[in-house]
Amino acid sequence: MLRKIALGLSVLVLALFIAGIAGYVITGPQAPAADSVSAQWLKPGPYMTASSDKVFVDSSRGTAANRDYSGAADRTLATTLWYPLDSEESHPLVIHSHGFTSARNDLSYVAELLASHGYVVAAADYPLTHGGAPGKPNAVDVVNQPADVSFLIDSVSALSGPEKPFSGSIDASRIGLMGYSLGGLTTELATYHPTLRDPRVAAAASIAGPTTGFTADFFKTSDIPFLMIAGSLDYLINFEANAATIPNLVENGALVTITGGTHLGFASVADPMFRFMRHPDSLGCAAVLANLDSDPNDSLNQLGGAAEGIVVDPTAPQVCEITPDEKALHPGEQHMVTSIAVLAFFESQFSPSAAAREQAASALAVSLPTEFAAANYSD
């Protein structure tokens, strides 16, 4: 009798497993045609990849006290590196900055794709804005993160011997930044702020990063290529007040709009975790608002005023103030558009071949919006 019950349970578990796999496949995003340009850009590049964790400690700067946390004399950055295997070449370096209450692996699918094309990608948990920050995440510490970015560039570039997990070297002329949400703001500051910017940055991509409060003057400190990627249904960072202004504000900037895209839809966990939700950003709003003790504009106010191109607009929509009601795009499709956009953007700047740079620029500006109905490109 017990054997029959056990056999029955085994059959039931197997049936549920098969049903789960079938459901996962059936509810997956619709991929572009196999012979399309976009399908080729979604494929891994020529290199196998690996990742390695490091801890970099900046002893020249401290970590501020934060609620019940007394602070520290240094800034400790737990960091993950993604890199190509068996490549002795000189690699472009991309520093990724995570979002508020998030973690360094929040866009790991993009990091892995870049690594397969020969990039070294580094992402750290910033001391006071990641999800497990001591004293709870504090968005005001974003003012210290551009210097963290510069420190990461220094630290990864200086790796040598057994401490360096990748072969080859870092190409100092091909350093890029990307960031998600508050990490997008970090990227913008490290690229353009008159005193915080790092002049080594050669290209930058902000993904759902806030820009309200920045005037056209803010973006004139550098003429490097800049790409904003944003979802039209973002609850947290209102699209119209932020991303939509980029083509008019940034002389060498461009915008990829993902129609139906959400804020949380960019995160690695979004597919399949949020696949069946009408709109996942309500979860993000709950997490962010629970950790915002002060006005989000407090950070901007610390960074300067009109002379620096920073003018806080008190009428601009606040975090989660406007919540679009439309159904969200499938997060898997949002991931595909984001992956192609980031890779093609950096390849259009960093590929050693002029022809390859032209092909990448075309993939970003022409093929992507042609082959994905949800994607739009403007510059």
Map the chain to HEC letters.
CHHHHHHHHHHHHHHHHHHHHHHHHHCCCCCCCCCCHHHHHHCCCCCCEEEEEEEEEECCCCECCECCECCECCEEEEEEEEEECCCCCEEEEEEEECCCCCCCCCCHHHHHHHHHCCCEEEEEECCCCCCCCCCCCCHHHHHHHHHHHHHHHHHHHCCCHHHCCCCCEEEEEEEEEEEECHHHHHHHHHHHCCCCCCCCEEEEEEECCCCCCECHHHHHCCCCCEEEEEECCCCCCCCCCCHHHHHHHCCCEEEEEECCCCCHHHCCCHHHHCCCCCCCHHHHHHHHHCCCCCCCHHHHHHCCCHHHCECCCCCCCCCCCCCCCCCCCCHHHHHHHHHHHHHHHHHHHHCCCHHHHHHHHHHHHHHHHHHCCCEEEEC
Burial class, 168, CB count within 10 angstroms (exposed 0-12 / middle 13-18 / buried 19+):
middle
pLDDT at site 9: 47
pLDDT at site 1: 53
Q: Give average pLDDT by consecutive 10-residue segment, the chain, 379 residues.
A: 51 40 62 96 98 98 97 98 95 98 98 98 98 96 98 98 97 98 98 97 98 96 97 97 96 97 97 93 91 81 92 90 91 98 98 98 98 97
What does each C-alpha distance from 130 to 67, 137, 200 come to in angstroms? Answer: 15, 6, 25
pLDDT at site 16: 39
pLDDT at site 8: 53
3-state SS of 235-283 is CCCCCCCCHHHHHHHCCCEEEEEECCCCCHHHCCCHHHHCCCCCCCHHH
pLDDT at site 299: 81
Question: Is the torsion defined by CA of 28, 30, 33, 39 positive or negative?
Answer: negative
Contacts of 313 (CB under 8 A, 6+ apart): 212, 213
Question: Is the torsion defined by CA of 243, 249, 254, 259 positive or negative?
Answer: positive
Cα–Cα distance measured from residue 303 to residue 189, given in angstroms and rounded to the nearest whole number: 9
Cis status, amide bond into 272, omega within 30 of 0: yes
pLDDT at site 3: 55
pLDDT at site 253: 97
Cα–Cα distance measured from residue 127 to residue 125, given in angstroms and rounded to the nearest whole number: 6
Cα–Cα distance measured from residue 326 to residue 292, given in angstroms and rounded to the nearest whole number: 26
What does each C-alpha distance from 341 to 211, 230, 376 come to in angstroms? Answer: 19, 11, 11
pLDDT at site 298: 80
Amino acid type, 368: L
Q: Buried (b) or exposed (e) across 130-147, using 16+ Cβ within 10 A? A: bbebbebbbbbbbbbbbb
Q: Which residue has the tokens 């098969």?
A: 18
